[in-house]
Each structure stands twice: as C-alpha cells, then as structure tokens.
Amino acid sequence: MNSLSRSRMRAASAVLHGAVVMAMGLCWTVPAFAADVIRVVSPFQTTTLDPMRSAAAGNIETYGQLYSRLLRRDAETGALEPGLAEKWDISPDGKTYTFHLRDAQFSDGSPITAADVAFSLERIRTDKKSAYPAPLGAVEAVSAADAKTVVVTLKSAFAPFLGNAEIWNMGIVSKADVDKRGEEAFASVPVTSGPYEVKQWKPNEKLVLEPNPHYWRKGYPKSDATVELIEIASPETRIAMLKAGEIDVVRAVPWAQVDDLKTVETVDMRLEPSTTIYMTLLNHKREPFSNLKARQAAGMAIDNKAMAKAITRGYAEPANTTLPGSVDFHDKDYPGISYEPAKAKELLAESGMAGREVKILATADALSQQMALLIQAQWQAIGLKPSIVNVDGGAWWDATGKGDYDAAANWWYNETPDPDLAVRWAVCGTCGSNSYNTFYENPKVDALVEQGTREADPAKRAEIYKEIQRITTEEVAQIPLYYAPNAVAYSRRLQGLRLTPSLQWTLEETSIGQ
C-alpha cells in the first residue's frame, strides 16, 4: 500500500495532532466561578410557579423562595413566627382567626392587602385545580375585613390551623396580577411576595432567581447573589458537579457517597433532620394483603434495622410506627413490628396466603431497587412468591392509584411538625388519600383523625395520635422501614443555608463567605 504517500499521511496526522492540541488548549481556560451566584441542585423539577397548582417535590422547593405566607418558621429553631401577618387573634371557641397584616409589598411594588390574602387562600381551598386543599379542609370562609385584616372562620375548632397556614402551598399571590393575566401570570415571571423573584425560567433546566427588592423582611435576602435552582437527574453528575466546584448545594446525596463527601475539604456534608419516612405500601384491596395475618407476617419478615443499615449505611433510624419519627406526638416508646421470621412463616401459613404471588412495584432508581430486592428476599424466605415489576414514576402512580399492585416501597414526608396532615395522608380512609393508595380503612382510626384536630389539649392529643399509631402499626397499614435524614452537601463558602424538615431552603438567610 505505498499508494498512500508519506506526505499525505503526515498531513493527516498533522490535522489530527492539531485537533488534539487545540482541544487540549481549551483545558487551560479554567471557568471563573462567579462569586455572586448560589447554585442549588436538586433531582426534582420545577414544573409550575403557581403555588396552588402542584404538590410535587421540585415545586415545593421553589414556592418558598417566591411566596410569603401568613406565618413563617424560624430558620434555626423551626418555631412558628409572624409572616405577612404581624399578629393574630383567636376567638375563644377556636373557630375564628383574625390576622393583622403588616405593611408589605409584592415584587412589583404594589401593597399586599387582605384582599390578596383572602383571594390566595380561597383559591387554594376552592379552586378545582388546587393540588392540595387538605390543609385548609377545616376552613369555612376567608374574608377581608379591611385592607389589613383577614378573617378566617373554621367549621369547627382545628388545632393545627396556624401550622397549616405556613405550608408551602399557602403562598400569597397578587390578586390583581392573576385577575389580569390568568394562568399566564405564572407561566414565566410571576409577581412574587417572597424573598426572591424570577429572573429567568428555563423549564426542564433551571430557575434563575434574584432578590425581590420589595421583600418585607428588610435586609433579606442577606446576600444579593442570584440563585439558580438547577435540575440534574443523574446522582453521579450532581456529585461530580459539586466536587468540581461548579455548584454549591446538592440535595438527595446517595447514601453510598456520603462518607466520601465527608472527606472532601470544600464540602460540608450534612445529615439534616427531616420528617421523611420510608415504608412499604401494601395493597389492602386484594389478596394476599387484604388479609390481616398475611400483612402481619409480611411485617415480621422484614428486618428493618438491617435494611436501614444496609441501605443508608446506618444514617437512618429504623422506623417503629406508621408515622414519621420527628412529627409531634410520635410514639418513641412503641416497640414497633418485631423481626420474627419463624413466627412470620407460621402466621402466613395460618392466613392461607402462603405461596401467593406478590407484585412489588419499583422504580428505576438505585434506592427503590435496593428496597425492592431486600423485601423480595425476605418475603421469599417466609413462603411468599414475590416478583419485582419495574415501572417509571408515572406508571407507579397509575398502578398504586388503581390498586394494581401488592407492595411498593417508597417515602413520604410531612410538611408540618403537626401529625394531622400525616395521618390524613397515610392512614385515613375517609380523607381522600385512600390511605396513600393502600386502601387501608378503619372507621375507628378515621374517627380518631377527626378527634385529633378538635382537641386543643396537647396531652390529650398525644394520646389520640398514640392510639392511631398503635392501631395502624398493629394492623400493618403499611410496613414502616426507616426514618431518613435529608442528606445534603453544601459548599463551605456558604453560611446559613439549610434544607428545613419542611423541605424549604433557607436561601434568604444565606451569605457567601470565603
């Protein structure tokens, strides 16, 4: 093949060489880290800027930055404190709340009035498209008594009301803007009442925020930095970006990476308190888990201490009741479902469900796969025939909502320390949640749920919620697995930033140090 002359070859290799040299040359233009941007990365997407429209994880993170609420929580202690409402009076019968608003403005400079508050709350409560009206379920009416006074009347006394008025979807929006622009108001740049306003929204990629100059908390946000809430699906990529210094905060650090990140000097790897509970849903609508003994057997077959250790490397606490470990009135002394595989086998035989096929739903992420595999192995050991069916999130919700599954391990969290919303979500058959798609229903529990909100005395409430936890755990409404902290990694150049148990970033308290 001397047909290929030397000089041509040399030319070709020179081109190749040149390309490589040029590419290598690019390496030296090291990216300058703009000091005035705080970059926060989450796997969860922002899909709407309308606080009423979604209860999905990514939007919850966003709402807190854009909208103020009547009350707020102290970033450090988590205590309820005045927000847009400077103070409030509660009528002696506990049915009327009168909120007195402070002087505050929207991001467009217009005043935040009682009419805006009444409009926002009524919208959450009564609009058909409101994703999560449950926290205002006890409300009869919201009205503006005058420009600065909002009166909320309840159907009956409702102990958790103030806490519920602080939840992420209770953000106050501008009535004038929504009246004028309709849904368009939230399509790109909404008028906001919170610490930030939208600079640019690139759906599916990132939301860029800048401080709201009219924010009512003077001096906040502490830093005038722009904030980017970036969505990155791949956990490996999130961690690589943090290590490479391209971003400042990563949410949902995989457990396997926690120890490694703790050794990185520039990174502050934290395990922050959460109200998250990992558990296994059981479908009470069909066999085998419509059978109480089969459920108890399934529960006893699972060594949740070992699971917590294996999956979270010991960073999570084994769960002992059906409720998150850090909600108020969680019963720490309850022994939980004990791990007794031999007894589980017997119980299963007694139930007549031995050898039954069990369809375990799992999504593709590592955590979901691990949980499904461990559960499958432990159930196989007591004589069930579990198989794992892999689906994506959309199909997961479809199947659980229709009751087309037998078991599915997942997590949920409670947006307030008060357990009312938690029990309504997880174990109440008459609250519209189908007990988190398990179709568990116990009229006694449903009655206790209502009773719990009417009782004002904390000691008595504690008893009620203890009873709910005892009944639902004994009946194995779900199988509690573990209570996991939020694994969040922060760049050390930031001060004051954390993810609260209600899954809100304290960005307004954040400053950039060295």
Interface contacts to other proteins, rule CB under 8 A: 1-5, 8-9, 12-13, 15-16, 19, 23, 26-27, 29-31, 45, 47-48, 53-57, 59, 128-134, 183-184, 186-188, 202-205, 232-234, 236-237, 240-241, 243-244, 246-247, 391-395, 397-399, 401, 412, 425, 432-433
Closest CB 352 distance from other proteins, rounded Å: 31
Closest CB 112 distance from other proteins, rounded Å: 25
Q: How many CB atoms lie within 10 A of CB 414?
A: 25
C-beta closer to other proteins: residue 131 or 176: 131
C-beta closer to other proteins: residue 104 or 281: 281
Q: Which residue in the block uniquely carries the two structure tokens 């009751």?
A: 403
C-beta closer to other proteins: residue 135 or 288: 135
Report d(CA 120, CA 343) in Å as an integer. 54
Closest CB 511 distance from other proteins, rounded Å: 25
Identify whether the C-beta of residue 438 lies closer than 8 Å to the C-beta of residue 408: no
Closest CB 210 distance from other proteins, rounded Å: 18
Question: If you count DSSP H runs as helices and E runs as strands, how many of each does the chain have, helices first?
Answer: 16, 21
Closest CB 27 distance from other proteins, rounded Å: 4
**Sheet containing 407-413: which strands, arranged edge to edge?**
317-318, 478-483, 276-282, 407-413, 357-362, 385-390
Q: Which residue in the block uniquely carries the two structure tokens 């009512």?
A: 216
Report d(CA 214, CA 208) in Å as an integer. 18
Report d(CA 186, CA 495) in Å as an integer. 31
Give residue 289's Cα distance to chain centre.
28
Identify whether the C-beta of residue 303 lies closer than 8 Å to the C-beta of residue 479: no
C-beta closer to other proteins: residue 287 or 365: 365
Provide the strand spans (E) within 242-285.
Answer: 249-250, 267-272, 276-282
Closest CB 460 distance from other proteins, rounded Å: 28
Provide the strand spans (E) within 189-232.
Answer: 196-202, 206-211, 226-231
Closest CB 183 distance from other proteins, rounded Å: 6
Q: Tell me which DSSP letter residue 45 carries.
A: P
C-beta closer to other proteins: residue 207 or 464: 207
Distances from the Cα of 300 to the Cα of 18, 314, 324, 479, 480, angstroms = 67, 21, 19, 9, 11
Provide the strand spans (E) within 34-95.
Answer: 37-42, 71-73, 80-82, 85-90
C-beta closer to other proteins: residue 279 or 302: 279
How are beta strands 249-250 and 37-42 bridged, if at all?
parallel
Closest CB 37 distance from other proteins, rounded Å: 13
C-beta closer to other proteins: residue 131 or 157: 131
Distances from the Cα of 220 to the Cα of 249, 392, 485, angstroms = 20, 40, 28
C-beta closer to other proteins: residue 233 or 377: 233
C-beta closer to other proteins: residue 13 or 387: 13
Closest CB 128 distance from other proteins, rounded Å: 4
Which among 363, 443, 434 is positioned nearest to 403, based on CA atoms? 434
Closest CB 219 distance from other proteins, rounded Å: 32
C-beta closer to other proteins: residue 279 or 347: 279
Closest CB 433 distance from other proteins, rounded Å: 7
Report d(CA 423, CA 464) in Å as an integer. 11
Angle at 88 (CA atoms; ends 53, 113), nearest 5 degrees: 55
C-beta closer to other proteins: residue 203 or 383: 203
Cα dihedral angle (241, 242, 248, 253), rounded to 10 degrees?
Answer: 110
